[in-house]
Structure 1
Amino acid sequence: MYINNLQNGDLLFMRDNSEFSKAIIETTKEYSHVGIFFDGMIYHASRKYGVVKQKLEDFFSEGNWDVDIFRYPEIDCEIVQERAEKYLGCEYNHSFYPDNGSFYCSQYIAEILPIFDSVPMKFNDEEKDVSDYWKKYYDELGVDVPVGVLGTNPSQLSKCEKIKLIGKLRRI
């Protein structure tokens, strides 16, 4: 599937080779980022920018993303895009704790498209309940690791039975 075949409301589930992405995937197994497409733009919560909308070309120029496209057939694009616009400018939720006025990527998507369940968060790897990466990450933030706190992650959202995999995004 090519960029010019995207439809408003398509969900972009992604992974890349950054250390942050690898740490997320080590725990959640498949994806490390998610955004939603409207009018040539990706709306997402970015560690660098907070909640933003970016031209797809600009977003892809910043990283080497592998992207799968999912679609929610019953989406009301007008309502969801209006919700997406409402949170533009909010800060990124670096701690992943809920209800603090900021958003991480899957938290933002679940807020604007409320079809997804929350699950107890995990930060483990194959050997430890909390991986070394996440221990260091949360030590630097100065907060406890939110193990078991209800939240979301991109891989978990992608498993929602209400959305359907359309295909891989191929860039021209």
Structure 2
Amino acid sequence: METTITAEHGQSGFISLVVIIASLGGLLFGYDTGVIAGANEFLKALFHLTPAQTGLVASSVDLGAMIGVLVAGFLGDRVGRKNALFTAGITFMLSGVVSALAPNVPTLIVGRLIGGIGIGLASLLSPLYIAEIAPPRIRGRLIGSNQLAIVTGIFIRRAVKPRRLGRGYEALTP
């Protein structure tokens, strides 16, 4: 009986860790949802954006997310959920680098489009992976942690407002 409790406790700890890691996709999704709103004024000044360009920069993430969701199921089936989530993480990192180093508007749009693809991948794959590894008795609670991570990301972004950080380049940082 004691080994069963220990094994179950060890498994619960492992599952909790995996769920936290898988939910990071939701956290990034929520954070990115709020980040562009805080950076709009800075981006308008830096790139001399027209209203149409501002809308394109903001909505490029949504377009990327649509693409990501459309390929996520196929990718997850093809390479496995864990590897597909790893791919989502790589796209988030690539997006950050491309966006931060963007010398012009088209490059910034491409960077945000890449980030959107990562968001789309993680949006579909994170709850799916969590559902697959979670014990049936707590599955709903663990899948809910992904949703909690999304709103936590939005909260974090809104709590760290650019006007508190200044009007320069640091306005883009968390």
> In which range does the TM-score fall when normalised by the shorter chain?
under 0.3
Asked which structure has the greater RCO (Cα within 8 Å, sep 6+), the reply is 2
- Structure with greater strand percent: 1
Larger radius of gyration: 2
